[in-house]
Every structure is written in structure tokens, then in C-alpha cells.
Amino acid sequence: MSETVKSVERAGDILLLLHNSNEKLGVSEIASQLDLHKSTVHRLLASFEVKGLVKKTADERYGIGLRIFAMGLKVSKEFSILEIIKPYTRQLMEEVGEAINISILDDNFNGKYRTIMVAKEYSSESVLLANLNVGALSDAHISAVGKCLFAFSKNVDLSKISEDSLTKYTENSIVTKEDLFKEIDDVKKLGYAFDNEEREVGLFCIAVPIIEADGYASVAISISGPTIRMKNDNLQGKIDALLRTQAEITQILRTLG
């Protein structure tokens, strides 16, 4: 392998690491996690900074830059399925009065899957305790959309999941592969998934996969809100509304097929 190709691979590894990190990283941390020389990391980061691909903080730590964000938005706009889904999710938000999120599954990274929120619908009344922005990453094992995509996506290799990657966020978080696989089996039977305060206490989500013409899902949609409001007498009504929305979208996708 040529040195040029190796350099490109190192550059890609750094960007992926920053993308998948929940916090900004220093040169030493990046070098340690990727087993690279600090001088190599520093040189690549300096090039990235000039191009706007990374942003450096005052304390010499790095995160994804605005140029990457802009590129992501462009991809999102070109992701045609979103344009089909969004009118339905807007209608769903108006019906249930809670925030609606559209998410995809991030590629496996060191045995860890995450979801990426690519669009959302919410009103001033549907205020979340954890009001995630478009582009936000969440660990898939503790998110309702993640469980749906584990169950119905064709781009998942469950054998690669490491138990060490099942981070505990609350007392309700799934932390063993046995429990996660059982939950995925339940989602396959029910057709929907819950996040019952697994990522944040006080936050409850319901999600369904959007099954495309090939029989698999690359996108999932969820209803999210405060537990006290979500798990009231109308919980089943919210589930039914989500399933109706799923059926309507699925029918359109099969027609376009």
C-alpha cells in the first residue's frame, strides 16, 4: 500500500473518530485511540482546520467543523426518502402533540452502533427534556430507533457488537448482549420499540422502522416526550398513530418501488 493511500486512510480514521466521539478530543487522545504518531495527527488536523473540516477549541481540542456539517446537510437534502417521509411526520406531530424524529443507523465503529437524527418535527408545546438537534448521535442500544434498525436493517452485523460498547446511561439501560438480543427479537415480533428512560431519566420514546421496497429499513421514526406525558392513558393511541403513519409511508414507498 502506498504512503499516499495510507495517509488518506489515516485522515479518514481521524474524521470518523471525531464524528463518533461525544466530546472534542486532543491530539494525544486521537493518536492513542488510533495508534498513530502525534506528529502525524497534528499535521492532518492542521490541514483539516484550514479546509474547515475540523474546528479547534481554545484548549487545543478538536471536533467536526462546519464544512463537514454543510456536506452532511447536502447529503440529507439528497436523501429522497426524507422528502417522502416528512409530510407524514409533520402530520403525526400535529396529531400526537409530541416531537417526531427521523433517524438512520451509523456504520459500525469499533463494535459500536449509533443512530443519527436526520430530521425532526416539533412544536413549542412538545418541549423535550433532552432536545437533541439534527445531526445528533445516540447509542443505538438505548434508543427506540436504534432497536428498530437493529431488527430490520440489512446493514447490521450483531456479532460485531461488543458488550463493552453497551454503555450504561440510566438504571434502565441495556448493558448485556443477551438483553439486547432479546429486545431486538421482541421488536421483530411487535413491529415497534421503546426507549423507556434508557438514555435519559424522564424521557420516553416509541419508534417504528420504515420498511422499504426491498423489505428492509434504513430509516426509523419515533415519538419522543417526557415520560409522564408519553406513558399516560393515551400511550396505545400514540403507538397506533405511529403504526398508521408507518403503513402510509410504506405503501407510498412500495408504489414507487
| pLDDT tens, the chain, 257 aa long | 456 667 888 888 898 888 878 788 999 999 999 999 999 999 999 988 888 888 888 888 998 887 776 666 555 544 578 888 888 898 899 899 889 999 988 866 566 888 888 888 877 655 554 456 777 788 899 999 999 999 999 888 888 888 888 989 999 999 999 999 999 999 999 999 999 999 999 999 999 999 888 888 989 999 998 998 888 878 999 999 999 999 988 887 776 65
191: DSSP letter: S
- Which homologous superfamily is 79-256 in? GAF domain (3.30.450.40)
Smallest Cα–Cα separation from 219: which of 253, 195, 170? 253
3 strand-pairing partners = none
Q: Residue 232 has what pLDDT?
A: 83
Q: Residue 21 has what pLDDT?
A: 80
Smallest Cα–Cα separation from 150: which of 164, 138, 132, 168? 138
- Sequence letter at residue 102: I
Query: CA-CA distance, 36 to 53, in Å (whole number)?
Result: 19
Kindly indicate whether the domain formed by 3-68 is annotated with CATH number 3.30.70.3040: no
204, 177 contact by CB (below 8 A) = no
Smallest Cα–Cα separation from 104: which of 215, 224, 209? 209
Give just the sign of the alpha carbon dihedral 214, 220, 221, 222.
positive
Q: Residue 124 has what pLDDT?
A: 60
Query: CA-CA distance, 127 to 203, in Å (whole number)?
Result: 11
Please report, for the chain, the start and end positions of each structural domain, with discontinuous segments joined by +: 3-68, 79-256
pTM value is: 0.69
Q: Residue 4 has what pLDDT?
A: 62
